[in-house]
Amino acid sequence: GAVVSQHPSWVICKSGTSVKIECRSLDFQATTMFWYRQFPKQSLMLMATSNEGSKATYEQGVEKDKFLINHASLTLSTLTVTSAHPEDSSFYICSARDPLGLAGGAGTDTQYFGPGTRLTVL
């Protein structure tokens, strides 16, 4: 249980284009999903908290107009990197919280991570 998928797993795009990344919880409903960014040899940095049916909460320094988040259902959140630039190249990872602790057996509120999306902007 507690499987989170991400699509695509990698993407290469030209500077100025937009890229959409999907995050799905496959065997549980997640009212809250999180988007992280990880640069090489660094730890995960939280970008935003995605709440189903409401606006995302962005961390300080993260541009909400550049990183658009939509959480339209209990199993899907999307991150769109708009007008991507080379400095946006990174490993983007989503996680989903299992509020009832049913899927993974690790207790409530454990975050389960997707496999990540490697974005390269040329």
Partner 1 sequence: GQNIDQPTEMTATEGAIVQINCTYQTSGFNGLFWYQQHAGEAPTFLSYNVLDGLEEKGRFSSFLSRSKGYSYLLLKELQMKDSASYLCAVEYGNKLVFGAGTILRVKS
Rounded to the nearest whole angstrom, what is the least distance from the CB of residue 48 to partner 1 in the complex?
10
Tell me whether residue 13 or residue 44 sits nearer to partner 1 (CB atom).
44
Of the candidates 66, 118, 110, the one whose C-alpha atom is nearest the C-alpha of residue 90 is: 118
Stretch that binds partner 1, among 14-22, 43-51, 68-76, 77-85 (CB under 8 A): 43-51
DSSP string, 49-82: EEETTS--EEPTT--TTTEEEEEEETTEEEEEE-
| Residue in 15, 55, 72, 109 binding partner 1, rule: CB under 8 A | 109
The DSSP secondary-structure symbol of 100 reads T
Could you tell me the smallest distance in angstroms from the CB atom of residue 75 to partner 1?
18
